[in-house]
Structures are given as structure tokens and as C-alpha cells.
């Protein structure tokens, strides 16, 4: 079959690549065109546009880049029509994907959605659109099935693909000695800094994360560089601080980190799966935050707390993200009792998420659905 996959971020590229791998194994005539990144390309997708050109975050940023976004929408629609796939598979990235889903549905093209938009957090009205234009939704968070059930929409829960990704990585990880040697690290425990992947979020949060370095001389601080950013982008942060940068190797960094300061998002769950105690940090533009605050209807912003449905990790949001608060919360997880408590909660979280095999399950369900409706 001919597949067209649309992912607009690094996490979507990762999940898209794993899905492609499973679809190829199950479909001998697999052919794929996609919007994504290097990982999807490595699995055999013909990449039309890289996610590096697509990542706009926050209301202000979207408005500022509206012309580019509209041009991308037009390009995408035209390319899909020309390719004429058997199915379009959308991965998260709702602002863009729900717009193109409506268009494809009207053109009679089958639409699957893998990894639901966070409609349970805000814009619940989007469920009505999803029901109309998405032929099948595949969700990765356990509470999402019940959420959609309230709207009489049957979705398939497949488990979280990050469990497989982390387990796969652990099988081939290099030794601690080799890791420290490779990056010329000091003989100290590591506090990892995961400031995100978007320019504006890194510039907002990384300086605050770095400001606590002087208070923890027994630790070394290491920044996880985003795949979408060149080393030169981080130079201004590196030259003024005693800090290392590790590019495109966040999982190795988490493997050997004792603690982490993490930007809200998928990284909070990845950090939990590596059982690294963390403090979650979020700070956006003042206007975007005020708008979001009035629209978002959830108790937590981190995936860890949302899945557990309670505060497992401390979230320092906007005005709460200060140097003093960060030190207090870092001290809390460095404390043996605080550290052990968080790791115990992580183990419960992994049980809630279910077992391995999400990418394989979703590929099988997609093919089953396509063959039934052929």
C-alpha cells in the first residue's frame, strides 16, 4: 500500500519511524511519502518537508509565522493529492493535522490519527471535528479511551511507544566509563538539563536552569542538545557556564544522570522511564501563557502527572520557575527519601502504561482496518 505520514516534531518523527518499521515488516508492498525527519527517512520514507521547518509554538509565534504555515498547508494538500495514497496517517501536531484531515476527508482519502491531540486538555470542541474527519484514532495514553467514549467515539488504545524505544535503547547502551570518556566528563554525578527543542522555549528556560550550577559543586551539569539545533545555537549558554553539551544522545545522558531539570512534554515521560528523579520546568511568552491559562482545563502539564493523575513530579510553571524554587525542588529530589519516593511512583506509572509493543499493535490494527475497508 501507499502511505502518507505527517509528523511535525521530533517526537512525531521518532514514533513515525517505529510505525514505518512495523508496517514494512507486515506489508511487502510498503511505499511511503512523509513530512517528518531523519529517523523516518532512515526507515525508508520519502521526506517531503523536514519537521525543523514546521515547529512553531505558542499563540504569538503561530501568528508571526502565519504566512509560512498557510504555505505549508497548501503544499501538503497538493502533494497528497498528487501522490494519491491509500491512507494518510497523522501523528499528533494538531494545529496543522486537523486542518489537512478535513481537506483529505472531503476528498475521500482515508485518514488515520496516531497519538491523539490533547483535546482532553483544551479545545474539547475538536472532538466533533475528529469524529467527522478521522476514520480511526489510535491513542497512547490510558485515560484517552474513556475520554473519547464520553463523546461516543470508539478509539483504539495501543500503549505508549516510548516504552519500546527506551527498552530497545537500553539493550545497546555503552558503559558508564565509555560514556564519560566519550564526552570528556568529570568524575562527578550528572544533573541533566533538558530545555526542549524549540528556540523560544530554550531561551526562556535554559538560563534559569543554568543559574543553579554554582550551588551544586559536587555535580556536573550537562545540557541535552536538541536534534533540530546546531551546536552554535548553544554557544552563548556554554561560554558563560561550567556546563557540557551532549548532542543527539539524550537517552545515553539519561541513562547515567542522577537527576534532571526537564521542560514539560514528552521528555518528562522519557526521564521517568529511565527512572531519573526530575523537576519539571515551564516558561513561555507572557501573552501565550495568559491565553493558555484561560483555555487549558487540566490539573498538570507534565505527562508523568497526567498519567498518574496526581503530583509525582514537581512542576514549576511560569512565575514559579525561579532560581530559589528550582533549588528547593532540586534539594527535595537529591534527598534520599524524596528520590526513592519518586522512583517508586515511576514504577507504578510504568505499570499503568501497560506492556511493550505499541508500534507493532498500531501497525497491525491499521492494516486490519484497511483490509476490512478495502
Domain ranges of the chain: 2-159+357-372, 166-353
CATH superfamily, region 2-159+357-372: Glycogen Phosphorylase B; (3.40.50.2000)
User: Looking at residue 318, what is its pLDDT?
Assistant: 83
What pLDDT digit, counting tens, does each position of 49-104 carry? 998 876 555 555 555 566 777 888 999 999 999 999 999 999 998 888 999 999 99
Query: Which pLDDT value is given to residue 199?
Result: 83
Q: Which distant-in-sequence residues (6+ apart) come within 8 Å of 140 by Cβ?
A: 115, 116, 157, 158, 159, 160, 161, 358
2-159+357-372 and 166-353 have identical folds: yes
Q: Give pLDDT, residue 299.
A: 78
Count Cβ atoms within 10 A of the Cβ of residue 288 and give its class: 0-12 exposed, 13-18 middle, 19 or more buried. middle
CATH code given to domain 166-353: 3.40.50.2000
Per-residue pLDDT of 205-230, as tens digits, reads: 999 999 999 999 999 999 999 877 88
Per-residue pLDDT, 293:
55
pTM of the model: 0.82
Q: What is the pLDDT of residue 239?
A: 81
Alpha-carbon distance of 194 to 266, in angstroms, equals 11
- Backbone φ and ψ for 216, nearest 5 degrees, come out as -130, 65
At 240 the pLDDT is 75
Q: What's the CA gap between 13 and 34, in Å, rounded? A: 10
Give pLDDT < 50 ranges for the chain: none
pLDDT at residue 356, rounded to an integer: 85
Amino acid at each position: 500500500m501507499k502511505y502518507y505520514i505527517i509528523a511535525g516534531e521530533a517526537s512525531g518523527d521518532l514514533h513515525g519511524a517505529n510505525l514505518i518499521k512495523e508496517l514494512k515488516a507486515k506489508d511487502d508492498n510498503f511505499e511511503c511519502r512523509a513530512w517528518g525527519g531523519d529517523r523516518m527517512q532512515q526507515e525508508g520514507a520519502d521526506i517531503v518537508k523536514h519537521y525543523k521547518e514546521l515547529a512553531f509554538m505558542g499563540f504569538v509565534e503561530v501568528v508571526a509565522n502565519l504566512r509560512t504555515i498557510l504555505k505549508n498547508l497548501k503544499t501538503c494538500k497538493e502533494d497528497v493529492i498528487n501522490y494519491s495514497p491509500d491512507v494518510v496517517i497523522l501523528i499528533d501536531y494538531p494545529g496543522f493535522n486537523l486542518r489537512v484531515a478535513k481537506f483529505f476527508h472531503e476528498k475521500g482519502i482515508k485518514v488515520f490519527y496516531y497519538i491523539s491531540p490533547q483535546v482532553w486538555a483544551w479545545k474539547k470542541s475538536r472532538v466533533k471535528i475528529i469524529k467527522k474527519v478521522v476514520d480511526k484514532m489510535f491513542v497512547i495514553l490510558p485515560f484517552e479511551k474513556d475520554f473519547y467514549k464520553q463523546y461516543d467515539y470508539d478509539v483504539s488504545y495501543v500503549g505508549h511507544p516510548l516504552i519500546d524505544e527506551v527498552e530497545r535503547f537500553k539493550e545497546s547502551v555503552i558503559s558508564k566509563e565509555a560514556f564519560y570518556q566519550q564526552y570528556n566528563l568529570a568524575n562527578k554525578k550528572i544533573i541533566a538539563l533538558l530545555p526542549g527543542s524549540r528556540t523560544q522555549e530554550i531561551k526562556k528556560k535554559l538560563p534559569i536552569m543554568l543559574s543553579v550550577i554554582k550551588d551544586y559543586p559536587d555535580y556536573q551539569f550537562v545540557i541535552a542538545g536538541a536534534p533540530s539545533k546546531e551546536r552554535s545555537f548553544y554557544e552563548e549558554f556554554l561560554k558563560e557556564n561550567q556546563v557540557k553539551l551532549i548532542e543527539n544522545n539524550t537517552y545515553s545522558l539519561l541513562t547515567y544522570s542522577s537527576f534532571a531539570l526537564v521542560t514539560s512534554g514528552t521528555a518528562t515521560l522519557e526521564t521517568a522511564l529511565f527512572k531519573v528523579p526530575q523537576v519539571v520546568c515551564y516558561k513561555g511568552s507572557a501573552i501565550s501563557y495568559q491565553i493558555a491559562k484561560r483555555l487549558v482545563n487540566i490539573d498538570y502539564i507534565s505527562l508523568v502527572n497526567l498519567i498518574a493523575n496526581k503530583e509525582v513530579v514537581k512542576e514549576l510553571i511560569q512565575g514559579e520557575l525561579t532560581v530559589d524554587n528550582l533549588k528547593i525542588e532540586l534539594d527535595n529530589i537529591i534527598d534520599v527519601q524524596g528520590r526513592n519516593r519518586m522512583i517508586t511512583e515511576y514504577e507504578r506509572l510504568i505499570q499503568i502504561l501497560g506492556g511493550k509493543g505499541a508500534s507493532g499493535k498500531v501497525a497491525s490494527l491499521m492494516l486490519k482496518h484497511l483490509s476490512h475497508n478495502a
